[in-house]
Structure 1
Amino acid sequence: MSTPTHAPDAAAAQPEAAHSDTALATHHLSARKFTIHFLEMVVAMAVGMVALHPVWTLVLDATGATGLMHDPYTGALIMATNMTIAMSAWMRVRGHRWRPIAEMGAAMYVPFLVLFVPLALGLIGEGALMLWGHVLMLPAMAAAMLLRPHEYAHC
């Protein structure tokens, strides 16, 4: 009588497949890690706005271009730049690659760029530009993070 032969375990037969499954499991972005990283980015953005605003004021005053800070278009871009610089620096400290940093940076600018159209058409005012630009940054940041969950799993 012959003894039944058992097929080797699929994971044992393909160790790289088993390793791949393990790697996927370790790159899972938990809600806790997502929230912590998201909040870190918001704090970094606020620090950038507070810390870099005086630098812009000093430079623009020295060059006679103070009006740029008060123009809604350039003012919004300066604010987005302040937030992006601080957030990018923090992301780099946390070990992120340049591509996700650029994607997160885009999340700072795109809401304002989109809102420039209704501002130019007179459909919204300067206050709405700033309010909605900041509000729309949050889902834009979340989308950038959800695009590459493995990038944020180690945070």
Structure 2
Amino acid sequence: MPTPTHTPSAATAHAEPAHTTHHLSAKKLTLHFLEMVVAMAVGMVALHPVWTLVLDAVGAPGLMHDPYTGALIMATNMTVAMSAWMKVRGHRWRPIVEMGAAMYLPFLVLFVPLALGLIGEGALMLWGHVLMLPAMAAAMLLRPHEYAHC
């Protein structure tokens, strides 16, 4: 006589994978976040000399030292490397653009208090980088399914 098999109820079957998926998603989101931070750092280090050479060659080395263009160049360096890594990881262009916006938005917001003399260049760089982290997290939380496959 065959033994009866236990079939989980629909509520139990649905609840278990959701808990596991949520746990794995949080882990994957954290891993992706850390990968993006590493890619940003690589971009800053690797691309800074390229900008220096190009700006020297065109006679505009001062652009690197101007707080506005310097911040935008740094955000570009981070965005290029991060975008390349996201593309390698199989992301679509829309999330890549959103993550790139997270690199620029903090600096753009901070340009206002800088122009008004409320903050200095050091604060611009410090807070621009600090505010990138929650901006990146917000971009990821906007589309968590995008990062589930990472």
| The one of 77, 101, 126 aligned to 2:121 | 126
In structure 2, the partner of 1:90 is: 85
In structure 1, the partner of 2:3 is: none
Give, in whole Å, the separation in 2 of the partners of 1:60 and 1:30. 42
The aligned amino acid for 2:146 is E
Are positions 1:99 and 2:94 aligned together?
Answer: yes
In structure 1, the partner of 2:136 is: 141
Number of residue pairs matched? Answer: 136
In structure 2, the partner of 1:6 is: none
Give, in whole Å, the separation in 1 of the partners of 2:33 and 2:72. 21
Per-residue deviation at 1:31?
1.9
Give, in whole Å, the separation in 1 of the partners of 2:29 and 2:100. 17
Query: What secondary structure sits across from 1:50 in the alignment?
Result: helix
Pairing 1:6-155 to 2, within 5 Å after superposition: 25=18, 28=22, 30-155=25-150
The aligned amino acid for 2:93 is W
Task: Please list the CA deviations of residues 38-82 of structure 1 after superposition, one character each: whole Å capped at 9, or x if unmatched.
Answer: 000000000000000000000000011000000000000000000
Give, in whole Å, the separation in 2 of the partners of 1:143 and 1:85. 19
User: TM-score when scaled to structure 1?
Assistant: 0.83
Query: What secondary structure sits across from 1:138 in the alignment?
Result: helix
Per-residue deviation at 1:27?
6.8
Give, in whole Å, the separation in 2 of the partners of 1:97 and 1:38. 16
Per-residue deviation at 1:35?
1.0
Tell me, yes or no, if the aligned pair for 1:27 and 1:150 is still in contact at 8 Å: no
Give, in whole Å, the separation in 1 of the partners of 2:149 and 2:26. 13
Tell me, yes or no, if the aligned pair for 1:27 and 1:154 is still in contact at 8 Å: no
User: TM-score when scaled to structure 2?
Assistant: 0.85
Cα RMSD of the aligned pairs, angstroms, is 2.0
Per-residue deviation at 1:30?
2.1
Per-residue deviation at 1:34?
1.1
